[in-house]
Structure 1
Amino acid sequence: MEEKMRFLLLKQILQKSPLDLAAIEVSLMQGKRKADLLIAKKNELIAYEIKSCKDNLAKLNGQISDYLKIFDKVYVVLDIKFKKDIISIPEQVGIILFDSKSSKFKILRKPQKNNPIMYYQTLFVNSKKLKLYKQNGIIDIFDLRHFLVKHLKKKDLKQLVFECLKEKYSYGFELFQKIFHNNEIHLSDIYLLYCSSQIKTSA
């Protein structure tokens, strides 16, 4: 059910406006978390946490707390059975309800612009890019990431993060968009958005 929700949600998002990138099951905080859906749009990183009718909300507070450290905007997408639980969701988080009977989404609240901790966004920067900064005499990965936060302008750091995400996911996203625009999209095509650099390697 979660796969269906994610697929239908992304279809709806793409129908409304173009995206720079979309990816699923994105590893966060060095594997501590995974974002169900990540999109990049207009220099913003947006996360969607999806809870189907088969899920529970036991981990949701912790997930939201971590996503707010990383993303510019955060949405929670809930099956309609959780409607009574939305009161516990922080006000800066967007809320979308899903009705499985009609397969329709309803936006209850749009997210507020968040102020993420840039260090956590640097976790998207791959080792190849980090090595470029070793010439400054910094070798430790932890120190390299802090160097980026301290010495790069925020817009330059965000650009670097976007470059690394696109390097990893753009191949599959472009394939997905092509199928989508040809009206040939199927549920299984959503997995093109999973670590597409691996898809490119195996193709």
Structure 2
Amino acid sequence: MNSMPSYTEKDKLRSYSSVFSRSVFTDILLYGDFSRLDLLIERYGISKYVHTYWDFIRFIYRTIRKHYRNEYVYKNEFLTQLLINNYGTKNTIAINEFRVVHSIVDIALFNGESKAFEIKTEYDTPKRLNGQLLDYSRIFEKCYIIIPEQHLKQYLQTLSEEVGVIILNDNAHNVLMEEYRPASSNNILDIDLLMKSIRTQEYKNIILDYYGSLPKVSCFQMFDVCSSLLKEIPQDILRNLLLSEIKKRETVTPDLRKVPFELRQICLSLKMGLQEAMAVKEKLNRIIIT
């Protein structure tokens, strides 16, 4: 007789954390496919604790929030504790994974200024951090790192004083995210890096707003000519034009306050508005059949 495979507590927590992925929620939203959830429910005998798939999602989030604080937990807590409760969503656009050439900002915020937030959980290393922050500082006005409280001393030894620090406490009974120190403003805007980090139509719109028309050149010359023209715009004006342009992007940020707490980051990641988020919630209310 074949024995059932054994799983360690770490195996279980890793499996739980995989639930909050784009593919899992896309399958649920588009196809009503719960097979990934069913697999975990059966594997770990969770049906005795939960009645619906929504119960299961809440159970999973509570568990990893307490015992396995991965990137999803950090992002979700950031959206709730800092974006919604402190920064506000009315005039802010939050972007999940904003690409800056070879680096990717975990969360970027654009309101009256641009802010980059890099997350390093207890499962990450600071190996690429300085390079990432250097890239971000060439575009964003303020750069922050979000880290576990127990790793604060380690990171402070290598971080520039201009980098802001946000900590997630290590209290198992209460998850609190707070700003340890603010970031200093950066006045440098690297046009060459900016051109490679924003959309083609966005830098064209900035040219149109400032100069009134686009250069009359071929599409092959447009990138280089626009780059040269951006370099002629005073940087304080250019930053304002950039903010205005980025804030035209389609965003679900204002909806996040109304989205169920556990789903806020997945909604930002998938750009699910309130209607889609509630459609997912409705599907998750389905009773688990074992």
TM-score, structure 1 length as denominator? 0.80
Question: Is residue 84 of structure 2 the alignment partner of residue 9 of structure 1?
Answer: no
Structure 1 unaligned runs (5+)? none
Q: Does 1:162 align with 2:237?
A: no
The counterpart of 1:84, out of the listed 153, 156, 168, is 153
Alignment of 1:22-171 (within 5 A): 22-29=94-101, 32-42=102-112, 44-85=113-154, 86-100=156-170, 101=172, 102-119=174-191, 120-131=193-204, 134-137=214-217, 139-150=221-232, 152-168=233-249, 170-171=250-251
C-alpha distance in 2, partners of 1:54/1:129? 36
Superposed displacement of residue 134, structure 1: 4.2
User: In structure 2, how many angstroms separate the alpha carbons of the residues matched to 1:107 and 1:189?
Assistant: 21
Instruction: Provide TM-score, normalisation by structure 2.
Output: 0.58
Deviation at 1:193, TM superposition (A): 2.6
* Higher mean C-alpha displacement, 184-193 vs 75-84: 184-193
Counterpart Cα distance in 2 of 1:123 and 1:174? 28
Report the CA distance shift for 1:66/1:158 in structure 2 as closer, same or farther (over 3 A): same
CA contact 1:97–1:106 (8 Å) conserved in 2? yes
User: Kindly tell me: are residues 193 and 149 of structure 1, through their superposed partners in 2, closer, same or farther at Cα, counting changes over 3 Å?
Assistant: farther
Q: Distance in 1 between matches of 2:189 and 2:78?
A: 27
Q: Secondary structure at the match of 1:175?
A: helix
> Does the residue aligned with 1:55 lie in a helix, a strand or coil?
coil
Q: 89-98 vs 123-132, which deviates more?
A: 123-132
SS of the residue corresponding to residue 76 of structure 1 reads: strand
Root mean square deviation of aligned Cα: 2.5
Greater RCO (Cα-Cα under 8 Å, separation 6 or more): 2
**1:94 positional shift:** 0.7
Provide the C-alpha distance between the structure 1 equivalents of 2:231 and 2:268, rounded to a whole number of angstroms. 28
- 1:8 deviates by 0.8
Structure 1 or 2, whichever has the larger Rg, is 2
Supply the distance in 1 between the matched residues of 2:202 and 2:168 (Cα, whole angstroms).
39
The share of aligned pairs that are identical, in percent, is 20
Q: 1:193 aligns with which of 248, 262, 268?
A: 268
* 1:80 to partner: Cα distance: 2.3
Contact 2:189/2:235, CA 8 A, preserved across alignment: no
Give, in whole Å, the separation in 2 of the partners of 1:193 and 1:167: 16
Query: Structure 1 or 2: larger strand share?
Result: 1
